[in-house]
Structure 1
């Protein structure tokens, strides 16, 4: 296995630049997740590493090799796609060993590698079945097994769970985490689902509009985001953002009835626009006030209260236990100012 280094990589389609001078280091054995909204460039960046998209400018290195202009087959990577892309007329065993057979590997070697991949992915009972006799999760495991038998330096996953239902997504997420733990390979994984990113990654790369917004460990990005975009994207439900203005060493928030929120950060000039960010679990709903409890979503042990503010804004509050405040009630929300994050109202950069 090897690490991956991107140095000022650029991708253009004609005159349109979709990847903007991205530089990134992924360590050997690391599980790195590219995450961001649709159209942010995460799959394009992955395909550039794979060699399926030409790199317009910059350098792509796998290990110590410059593979910027190398063919995909020469890069030592294996890719798992959204679609399973299995041959319907071949058995699981034949599908997993197909690439090795095409490259002329001895039958004994193929059998040994397929058996090892089957053991890792718990596919021993399905080796003689055709893809049509498998569930979606089992088919995706076969596709991953086909990648494993190749013994690549780097595994690339392009939203591999997006075609599965919710329960299978959870099961496969655990399978992929266990796979990484067992084989210790370098893995790069693309998803728009920040839950997948948080649960799988050693390192998350948050992308927006073809540029990196922030790189870090999951909990680092969650607790210490650099800007509003990262703060809002990482965490589910998303962080609440309340508009306010600087008043001395505090921020006055109109949506909370003009309440002042003390800020232990360097604030901009008096009267400047600031956003106060508070995560749903750090808010508490109390009866009486200028807000309205609109809808309560009960999920068993946890509930999400959707709160309407007088200015037409919305907030989400996470509650636990049996909440007895009825919907449509007048309410207020409280929180510890130490749990709030503050962002510049113009640039949306984090204030520290």
Structure 2
């Protein structure tokens, strides 16, 4: 078994603590994605698991073994970086087998493992090429193949698709997801792109400021966020947020000129709450005081950006090809059961 357990993990750089007592279980064979904004600690946490950063406190177990202070080479992990780090004078075959060659593995074993990795990654026609003759996506597959031949317990990916263009990113997402299905290994993947997280992960770990905000399956985080940060970070376009006020056990939403009842436990009358609405749950209506600021027409779907009279900005997903143009005055309706509510001060979800 090759699960990963983190217990009260802390990382300090001098007197500055950047990872604050993280606890996390990653099961054998899971595809776990660390996601969050720049500076949230996701790459630092991955490097601690890899043994490339010293752990200031807590314990890291891989496959049931305490590897907190073990050398990187002794942890049974293989890491794929954002940069391909291929040797330019070596062929694809030589690059993929170099690590095993340096550790004294027999040539026949190296050849067998390289051939198997090339089969999995569909690199057989490229084995005798050098990196300069490869595309960006092909180079990244070679870097992944170099990790595969080591037969690690855990694969670690640190934003491996950041250097690729949009089309290649989509292609490589599918490649990595297929690789995970085929070899069934535990994989931990770091990205700031929540679309990558949603499309690839079995489990998403949302990080902010060195803390875990929420852990769960992609659709669980999308449909049932614990706080405003997770609600706004997961989903593209992100959730809309409007100011609301509790009045008579209902929530008044001045921006939409609506008052709605809700079964959630609301604070006292006069309290401010934040109302969250996904773009797909809003509908454009004729007449109203919302101003159309921009229309993103993408073919089968359009995203209509509007501003309320009070200056709040909303995005409405439109699949009906509603005829609106810049400057139009429109209204917006929604199903109250789809609204989420957050405490305006703590930003925690009201349930």
TM-score (norm 1): 0.99
The separation in 2 between residues aligned to 1:77 and 1:314, in whole angstroms, is 45
Hey, what does 1:189 align to over in structure 2? 189
Hey, what does 1:125 align to over in structure 2? 125
- The alpha carbon displacement at 1:322 in A equals 2.2
Hey, what does 2:76 align to over in structure 1? 76
The separation in 1 between residues aligned to 2:134 and 2:270, in whole angstroms, is 62
The separation in 2 between residues aligned to 1:205 and 1:213, in whole angstroms, is 8
Hey, what does 2:148 align to over in structure 1? 148
Contact residue 231 and residue 239 of structure 1 kept, 8 A? yes
Contact residue 287 and residue 325 of structure 1 kept, 8 A? no
| Correspondences of 1:1-352 after superposition (within 5 Å) | 2-257=2-257, 259-352=258-351
The separation in 1 between residues aligned to 2:221 and 2:310, in whole angstroms, is 30
The separation in 2 between residues aligned to 1:110 and 1:248, in whole angstroms, is 73
Contact residue 287 and residue 329 of structure 1 kept, 8 A? no
The separation in 2 between residues aligned to 1:41 and 1:262, in whole angstroms, is 39
- The alpha carbon displacement at 1:247 in A equals 1.1
The separation in 2 between residues aligned to 1:223 and 1:214, in whole angstroms, is 13
Q: Secondary structure at the match of 2:46?
A: helix
Contact residue 282 and residue 336 of structure 1 kept, 8 A? yes
Q: Show CA shifts across 1:202-234 (max 9, x none).
A: 000000000000000000000000000000000
The separation in 1 between residues aligned to 2:278 and 2:261, in whole angstroms, is 17
Q: Secondary structure at the match of 2:47?
A: helix
- The alpha carbon displacement at 1:311 in A equals 1.3
The separation in 1 between residues aligned to 2:248 and 2:169, in whole angstroms, is 48
The separation in 2 between residues aligned to 1:156 and 1:12, in whole angstroms, is 22
Q: Secondary structure at the match of 2:160?
A: coil
The separation in 2 between residues aligned to 1:93 and 1:326, in whole angstroms, is 56
The separation in 1 between residues aligned to 2:147 and 2:320, in whole angstroms, is 45
- The alpha carbon displacement at 1:251 in A equals 0.7
- The alpha carbon displacement at 1:63 in A equals 1.2
User: Unaligned regions of 5+ residues in structure 1, if any?
Assistant: none
Contact residue 221 and residue 231 of structure 1 kept, 8 A? yes
Contact residue 62 and residue 75 of structure 1 kept, 8 A? yes
Q: Show CA shifts across 1:82-101 (max 9, x none).
A: 00000000000000000000
Q: Secondary structure at the match of 1:150?
A: coil
Query: 247-256 or 148-157, which moves further after superposition?
Result: 247-256
